[in-house]
Amino acid sequence: MDHKHSFYWFAGILIVSLLLVNTQFFKGNTSFLGVSYSDAYTVNSDRAATVIKTYVTPGKTISAGDTLITLYSPELELDIEKLRKELMLMESEIDEKSELLESELALYDSEKQQREQEFSADINLLTQRLALQKKLSGNETSSSDEFNQSNELQLQIESLKQQLSLELQAIDIRVNDVTQEHLFDVSQIRARQELARQELDWKEQMVDNLTRVAQANGVVERVYVKPQEQVDSFTPLLSLNPRQPTSIVGYLVGQKDRNKQLGDTVLVRSSEQSSLTSTGVITGFGSVVALPTILQNSSSITTFGLEIFVEIPEDNPLPVGEKVIIE
């Protein structure tokens, strides 16, 4: 009989305790409890490489921008050196073609000057003869033969001038042809240069990425490699836990108000330090599950609640893994 009374007494105390807890957070109050979580992320190798140095150890607190690890890729360095040499050779090829063009243009210019001198000499000689012939044909005793000779000399002069003009035009056409050919060749080389420069920039960016830095504040969880170790592409190098939580999971228990909607804005407050708060947005609802141990009020009776997922800003002040109040 005494054992039976003791059992009823214990059960009564337990029920009263649960009712008190429910009264505070699980009934008649629009706020509800939750837990702050952080998602660990892994830093992987982008390519096959050799570990040169690790700058962190498990448990070390880091800040965004801190160097974590450096790698070296001989294959990548060889690719970069090859591309740099190719760019130098292409630039030398352009210089050679430019010098060749200058030489050809100088030859054409020299040819034009020579032809002009030759024709000018012939034209000057004929012009002098024409002047003399006109002087003679101006006399009263001049014959028709002398007049015809003057006309013939004039025709010869005009013919030489036309021939010179045609030859100079032909040279100009050859100059234009070699110039256009040169410009086309150079444009082709420039196009190859641009592709090589883009590839070089990409390769150099890959070299920069061999020095891995922290993208956010956090704590080093594990370091998987050591100096001089060879790693393949996508090999995990180390894992990090953010210093601040990245998400909140709240739990609606019992008859608590369930009018929460996707996209609703809520206030998340630390249960230990009420001054630490952050805004949040409801991003989803889960299923009814047992509350985490940190939220259970009794070791003998398990409390269940509806999961509510809340997204919070990265720069929030809340501690990780702590009980929070969602309002």
Same domain, 200 and 78: yes
Cβ–Cβ < 8 Å for 242, 290:
no
Within-domain flag for 15 = no
Would residue 234 be called left, alpha or beta, if left means φ above 0 and alpha means ψ between -120 and 50 degrees?
left
Within-domain flag for 20 = no
Residues whose CB is less than 8 angstroms from the CB of residue 16 and which lie 6 or more positions away in sequence, other chains included: none
Tell which residue, 40, 96, 89, 44, has the closest CA to residue 71: 44
Q: What pLDDT does 23 receive?
A: 43
Report which of residues 151 and 50 the model is more confident about: 50
Within-domain flag for 14 = no
Same domain, 34 and 91: no
Q: What's 138's domain CATH number?
A: 1.10.287
d(CA 139, CA 172): 45
Number of domains composing the chain: 2
Cα-based torsion angle of the residue sequence 144, 148, 154, 158 in order, rounded to the nearest 10 degrees: 150
Contacts made by residues 262-267, CB under 8 angstroms, sequence distance 24+: 266/310, 266/326, 266/327, 267/326, 267/327
Which of 191, 209, 227 is the last residue before a domain boundary?
A: 209
Tell me what the pLDDT averaged over the chain comes to: 86
Within-domain flag for 190 = yes
Confidence label for 230 from pLDDT (cuts 50, 70 and 90): very high
Confidence label for 190 from pLDDT (cuts 50, 70 and 90): very high
Cα-based torsion angle of the residue sequence 11, 13, 17, 19 in order, rounded to the nearest 10 degrees: 70
Same domain, 79 and 111: yes
Same domain, 38 and 148: no
Q: At which residue do the structure tokens 């890959």 appear?
A: 206
Same domain, 81 and 46: no
Q: What pTM, to 2 d.p., does this model score?
A: 0.60
Same domain, 198 and 253: no
Same domain, 132 and 252: no
Cβ–Cβ < 8 Å for 295, 323:
yes
Tens-digit pLDDT profile for residues 86-140: 999 999 999 999 999 999 999 999 999 999 998 989 888 888 888 887 776 665 4
Tens-digit pLDDT profile for residues 18-41: 444 444 444 446 789 999 998 888
Range name among 63-67, 139-143, 184-188 with the lowest pLDDT average:
139-143
Within-domain flag for 10 = no
Which of 178, 209, 240 is the last residue before a domain boundary?
A: 209
Question: Residue 173 is part of which domain span?
Answer: 74-209
Tell which residue, 189, 194, 166, 185, has the closest CA to residue 101: 185
Same domain, 133 and 178: yes
- What does DSSP say about strands 49-54 and 67-72: parallel, antiparallel, or unpaired? antiparallel
Within-domain flag for 17 = no
Tens-digit pLDDT profile for residues 277-321: 999 999 999 999 999 989 987 667 888 999 999 999 988 999 888
How many CB atoms within 10 Å of residue 122? Answer: 15
Same domain, 168 and 41: no
- What does DSSP say about strands 277-290 and 32-37: parallel, antiparallel, or unpaired? unpaired
Q: What pLDDT does 137 receive?
A: 65
Which of 188, 209, 230 is the last residue before a domain boundary?
A: 209
Same domain, 68 and 79: no
